[in-house]
Structure 1
Amino acid sequence: MNNKSTNFEDYSISPVPADQRKSTLNVSITSCAWIISLSTIFTGGALVAGLDFQNAVLAAIFGMLILAVIGYFQGWMGAKYGVSTTMLTRQAFGRYGANLFGVLLALTMGIGWFGWQIAFFGMTIAEMFPDQWFAEPRIAMIWGGTLMILTALIGYRGLAILSMIAVPLVAILSVWGLAEAVNHLGSWNALFTTEPTGDPITLFAGITIVVGNAVAGAIVFADVTRYGKTAKKGGFAASIGYFLGGVFCVVAGAAMALAAQVPALGSTPNIPAAMSQIGLGFFAFLILVFAQWTTNDNNLYTGSLGLRNVINVRKSVIVVLLGVLGLGIALIGIQDYFVPFLNALGTYVPPIAGVMIADHWIVKPKILQKSYQFGEGTTYAKWNIAAIISTVLAGIIGSQLHIGITAINSIIIGFVLYIVIAYILKKTNINFEVGKKSEQTNGF
């Protein structure tokens, strides 16, 4: 197969060639578009339910800084070897272990969250254009979902083009929303002195909310940074884009919600109502929908890269398959039933990053005396038992701890557990990398 980025394969199971790598700015803006979304703006609104504006800003900065550090290590590996997150897991978890991760991404991001966001998109369009035939929720889901599928189908180039448009617009919306919030309250001082809208929470709890919103994106940074020119540039570019985009959106959401003081929809901040209350017009809603588009095609893109690692089918076919399934659950109206299941699976995603980082920097070079390589002729273990056990245990332990940030706890526990288990097994001459599988020309 001709594995050029000009077809729809997008180097899904092979390293991105040097001549196809993108500029630091390109990678940074593309990663920024991963975080600018309705959910991130809503996160800002959730913060000011229990924090004043100053502490909400601090929570945004510290929370996104934590994610930027995690993302840097993940992004460094992606840019170093030019491969996706799922391809990287072939080294850390074994060839078949990587398949489990690929299926997990396909289920959670490519179908579950993609379908949930499509349903939300349909409801948003219906609010923007009441009584219009094209804005009827199910019709909006169909044409909106189709646009998202097409962008993901093109691959990184499609994401980059959309990001170049969306990021400046959302930056404008964030500044605009902040300015209108100040204008609505009368002064900057009023914004900083307005009381939270709900029960008080600690700054640490606020940081936890910020991290929880976007930790999954930081873990799959390699899906973007594999197009970076060098390891350092790729990791740094993605981290900066993610950090700035996240802080901008969280702060803007916090300012708008605090200024408007509109009632929440259950536990969800009513950001659209807040935007209307402080005087933002139709154009602001249009930008908000555009931001949702950039986020949801990223969900489908990452899910398709994950499943492409598992089955020997063209990525274009997988994108359409996952997209149609996600659209289907949205049209049927059962997307909310998947959320508890998706959240449960998400408990075991953060430890994967801790194990991957430990494997690349400590276990492989220091304990096993090996180095990473990819491409034809590469021999992977079929299973890395120590890595899989460490991930599962870290997820269980992390979810049971009632101190700290659950996602960060799980990452640290996974990191430490894997190093300890790998060291003990190596010293006792127990082979924890089971079986061998050589990569063929087509990546399988």
Structure 2
Amino acid sequence: MSKSHKSQLEDFSIRTVPIEERKNTFNVSITSCAWIISLSTLFTGGALVAGMDFQSAVLAAVFGMLILAILGFFQGWMGAKYGVSTTMLTRQAFGRYGANLFGILLALTMGIGWFGWQIAFFGMTIAEMFPNQWFAEPKIAMVWGGILMILTAFIGYKGLSTLSMIAVPLVAILSIWGLAEAVNHLGSWEALLSTKPTGDPLSIFAGITIVVGNAAAGAVVFADVTRYGKTAAKGGFGAAVGYFLGGVFCVIAGAAMTLAAQVPTIGSTPNIPAAMSQIGLGFFAFLILVFAQWTTNDNNLYTGSLGLRNVVNLSKTVIVIVLGVLGLGIALIGIQDYFVPFLNALGTYVPPIAGVMIADHWIVKPKILHKSYQFGEGTKYAKWNVAAIIATVVAGIIGSRLMFGITAINSIVIGFVLYVIIAYLLTKWNIQFEIGEKSEESNGF
């Protein structure tokens, strides 16, 4: 098998995506849009209108997604410029072994943990939509839903983009229909706009925090999509626009349907599936649920597999199957909720990684260390970047304990500033913070 063909089967998981394999801006934009169109984003809209009116929910959606689009643009720029995944980029920012830690973090959180949790959530929502139907029995729905999600992650970017081209327009059309039915259910736009929230009041700032918190991790790993962009600007811009539009649209649709139906909550969460049924979507609500979850959770597995591929010398296709089966197993056993505190704790350190990566690429490497990014056979990486690791850990700890602002954004900004300061001071004091050296081999390791 030729190197080129093997790389295509591997989805260029630890190599630079060749120019001839790059996609146009629209393709990248649609694929990133599919990342954000999900059940959790619909539920985010429902959560907003529990404590604010519809206009305020729209503003929270717009400003929250704008913040994430700006963050994602910088991450996406790097992925498209060098044609490599987020984990490959961290080889430069954190060192070769530091990147391994990040890869393991992605595999545990997104590839197994959240993938399994979302499968379980999918099974429960399908059962809610179609009670007493054999295919909607929670564990059966988990199995067929999980297989769908594993399949597209197994194929790689081409599978994700192909599904996105089908799912994004379909979910958009059906969500517009849901929005129209919500207005029709209430009688007029004025009725929708005047509907009062039933829960504790939420400020605009609190609403923005909810929107950002829902999708911050996705913006951090934008390079996993934009590495297929033709140029740095087109890749970063295309992904940012897709993420922004998909997120705003999905949040607004979820908010409108929740307000219109006024259904009871599942615990503290608005019952979106019941809302869809009540306003008359019926079977089409089922399609929204399937595609919304499919297009997002396969990305969890895809990103987790790219992360672990950076660590172990196994085929990406094998890694996808292993991680997918583990996640599905967690869901079928019913222990996914026990992992949530652990996943949230690990997730505290994902956002500041983006701050450190941005600082490393635009300030530390070119301005302080006078180096440039390179990838491919023979590239020499530090084994560890101690300053970057310290900045990430400290930023995660501080960001998670601040009582003001948006946790994810706080930790990103703190990570950015802290890393620049530490790198500058250590360089001034002639203290090496990039330790050891390891050359990239012909097989990507």
TM-score by length of 1: 0.98
- Matches of 1:67 and 1:362, distance apart in 2: 21
- Matches of 1:4 and 1:24, distance apart in 2: 24
Residues 234-253 of structure 1 mapped to structure 2, 5 A cutoff: 234-253=235-254
Deviations 1:244-284 (A, max 9, x none): 00000000101111111111111111011111222222112
Q: Per-residue deviation at 1:139? A: 2.1
- Matches of 1:193 and 1:141, distance apart in 2: 39
- Matches of 1:7 and 1:180, distance apart in 2: 44
How many residue pairs were aligned? 444
Residue 5 (structure 2) pairs with residue 24 (structure 1): no
Residues 89-100 of structure 1 mapped to structure 2, 5 A cutoff: 89-100=90-101
Asked if the contact 1:367/1:422 (under 8 Å) is kept, the reply is: yes
Q: Per-residue deviation at 1:109? A: 0.4
Q: Per-residue deviation at 1:132? A: 3.3
Deviations 1:135-191 (A, max 9, x none): 322222222211211110100000000000110011112211111111111111111
Q: Per-residue deviation at 1:3? A: 4.4
- Matches of 2:36 and 2:411, distance apart in 1: 22
Asked if the contact 1:94/1:383 (under 8 Å) is kept, the reply is: yes
Deviations 1:325-347 (A, max 9, x none): 00111111101111111111111
Residues 40-59 of structure 1 mapped to structure 2, 5 A cutoff: 40-59=41-60
Aligned to 1:225: 226
Asked if the contact 2:103/2:311 (under 8 Å) is kept, the reply is: yes
Asked if the contact 1:8/1:153 (under 8 Å) is kept, the reply is: no
Asked if the contact 1:4/1:10 (under 8 Å) is kept, the reply is: no
Q: Structure 2: which 5+ runs fail to align?
A: none
- Matches of 1:5 and 1:293, distance apart in 2: 27
Q: Per-residue deviation at 1:5? A: 7.0
Residue 419 (structure 2) pairs with residue 418 (structure 1): yes
Residues 56-71 of structure 1 mapped to structure 2, 5 A cutoff: 56-71=57-72
Aligned to 1:443: 444
Aligned letter for 1:314? S
Q: Which moved more, 1:423-432 or 1:6-15?
A: 6-15
Please state whether the residue corresponding to 2:307 is helix, strand or coil. Answer: helix
Please state whether the residue corresponding to 1:284 is helix, strand or coil. Answer: helix
Aligned to 2:173: 172
Aligned to 2:121: 120
- Matches of 2:134 and 2:200, distance apart in 1: 41
Asked if the contact 1:4/1:11 (under 8 Å) is kept, the reply is: no
- Matches of 1:152 and 1:52, distance apart in 2: 38
Asked if the contact 1:260/1:278 (under 8 Å) is kept, the reply is: yes
- Matches of 1:3 and 1:404, distance apart in 2: 47
Residues 35-434 of structure 1 mapped to structure 2, 5 A cutoff: 35-434=36-435
Aligned to 1:8: 9
Q: Per-residue deviation at 1:229? A: 0.1
Identical pairs, percent: 83
Asked if the contact 1:40/1:246 (under 8 Å) is kept, the reply is: yes
Q: Per-residue deviation at 1:7? A: 4.7
Asked if the contact 1:3/1:11 (under 8 Å) is kept, the reply is: no
- Matches of 1:124 and 1:260, distance apart in 2: 17
- Matches of 2:211 and 2:226, distance apart in 1: 22
- Matches of 1:140 and 1:199, distance apart in 2: 34
Aligned letter for 2:358? I
Q: Which moved more, 1:10-19 or 1:113-122?
A: 113-122
Asked if the contact 1:53/1:192 (under 8 Å) is kept, the reply is: yes
Aligned letter for 1:40? T
Q: Which moved more, 1:169-178 or 1:80-89?
A: 169-178
Q: Per-residue deviation at 1:121? A: 1.9
Q: Which moved more, 1:3-12 or 1:136-145?
A: 3-12
- Matches of 1:57 and 1:345, distance apart in 2: 30
Q: Per-residue deviation at 1:4? A: 3.4
- Matches of 2:18 and 2:429, distance apart in 1: 41
Asked if the contact 1:114/1:323 (under 8 Å) is kept, the reply is: yes
Aligned letter for 2:322? L
Aligned letter for 1:362? I
- Matches of 1:146 and 1:294, distance apart in 2: 13
- Matches of 1:325 and 1:435, distance apart in 2: 35
- Matches of 1:264 and 1:132, distance apart in 2: 22
Change (3 A) 1:273 1:132: closer
Please state whether the residue corresponding to 1:279 is helix, strand or coil. Answer: coil
Please state whether the residue corresponding to 1:12 is helix, strand or coil. Answer: coil
TM-score by length of 2: 0.98
Asked if the contact 2:273/2:285 (under 8 Å) is kept, the reply is: no
Q: Per-residue deviation at 1:134? A: 3.1
- Matches of 1:229 and 1:63, distance apart in 2: 28
- Matches of 2:373 and 2:22, distance apart in 1: 20
- Matches of 1:309 and 1:203, distance apart in 2: 40
Aligned letter for 2:5? K
Q: Which moved more, 1:88-97 or 1:251-260?
A: 251-260
Aligned letter for 1:159? L
Asked if the contact 1:84/1:305 (under 8 Å) is kept, the reply is: yes
Q: Which moved more, 1:263-272 or 1:411-420?
A: 263-272
- Matches of 1:5 and 1:176, distance apart in 2: 44
Aligned letter for 1:407? A
Q: Per-residue deviation at 1:443? A: 0.5
- Matches of 1:64 and 1:73, distance apart in 2: 15
Deviations 1:224-250 (A, max 9, x none): 000000000000000000000000000
- Matches of 2:375 and 2:127, distance apart in 1: 47
Aligned letter for 2:186? L
- Matches of 1:21 and 1:156, distance apart in 2: 11
Asked if the contact 2:126/2:286 (under 8 Å) is kept, the reply is: no
- Matches of 2:289 and 2:143, distance apart in 1: 19
Aligned letter for 2:3? N
Change (3 A) 1:389 1:188: same
Asked if the contact 1:3/1:10 (under 8 Å) is kept, the reply is: no
